[in-house]
Amino acid sequence: MQKQTKIKGFIFDLDGVITDTAEFHYKSWQKLADEEDLFFNREVNEKLRGVSRMESLNIILADQDIPAAKKKEWTDRKNEYYQKYLTEISKADILDNMEAKLEKLKAEGYKLAVGSSSRNAKKVLKQLKITNLFDIIADGNSVERAKPAPDLFLYAAQGLGLKAAECVVLEDAESGVEAALAAEMRVIGLGPESRVGKADLVYANVSEINFEEIIKKL
């Protein structure tokens, strides 16, 4: 990784970095699990952080052999529940002072992108009323291979017109950190060391993020 390369852009995961829809995901999966008599709890839900919808279902199912058509129906139904919960989200759900930090970065000339596994990223950003702050939104519809593959972040960098080495990724999931490293980008981890410890720099939560420090250290 060429850490001496000047930082020109930032790529933000959505859930857990800009806003927190984790509880909506949990409630949606729990509703499906209750209906289909599947084992699901908070511990299992934690394993779904940063993972695509179908892969999340595979984690919940463990070794159960379920026909592909039924799995598709289940993930679609979960998404319907999630979509209903999303109607409740608003600008008040932006984490801490992230909107102000995004505005400052944009004013300073940095290019900004969202790199989220969620297929609902654009809808969430619209609800939060901050779509205009981003030059590109890379989501679950943008690439075939989800995190921890690097494809989503590479797609975002290409959309920004930047090289991978010029980008910094902000992630709260282990799979996202792995994806950023695989893309040969610098990565900021948000959360416990046990989950994001492989990142170049780690902050406990969004409120502690210091972009001046990031730019100086990386």
Is 48 annotated in a binding site? The answer is yes
Structure-block tokens of residue 203: 């902050």
Is 14 annotated in a binding site? The answer is yes
Is 145 annotated in a binding site? The answer is no
DSSP 208: G
Check 13, 139, 151, 200 and give the catalytic one.
13
Active-site residue flag, 76: no
Q: How far apart are CA 124 and CA 66, in angstroms?
A: 30
At a CB cut-off of 8 Å and minimum separation 6, what does 20 contact?
Answer: 93, 95
Is 147 annotated in a binding site? The answer is yes
Residue 154: Cβ within 10 Å count: 21
Active-site residue flag, 13: yes
Is 116 annotated in a binding site? The answer is yes
Is 176 annotated in a binding site? The answer is no
Is 56 annotated in a binding site? The answer is yes
Q: How far apart are CA 189 and CA 22, in angstroms?
A: 17
Q: Tell me phi and psi for residue 16, to 5 degrees.
A: 95, -10
Is 15 annotated in a binding site? The answer is yes
What SS3 class is residue 4? coil
What SS3 class is residue 172? coil
Q: Residue 4 corresponds to which amino acid? A: Q
Is 76 annotated in a binding site? The answer is no
Written in H, E and C, the secondary structure of 40-95 is: CCHHHHHCCCCCCHHHHHHHHHCCCCCCHHHHHHHHHHHHHHHHHHHCCCCHHHEC
Is 50 annotated in a binding site? The answer is yes
Chain mean position to CA 88: 19
Is 175 annotated in a binding site? The answer is no
Is 90 annotated in a binding site? The answer is no
Q: Residue 178 corresponds to which amino acid? A: E
Binding residue positions for substrate: 13-15, 29, 48-53, 56, 78, 116-120, 147
Catalytic residues: 13, 15
Which residues contribute to the annotated binding site? 13-15, 29, 48-53, 56, 78, 116-120, 147, 171-172
List residues forming the annotated binding site for Mg(2+): 13, 15, 171-172
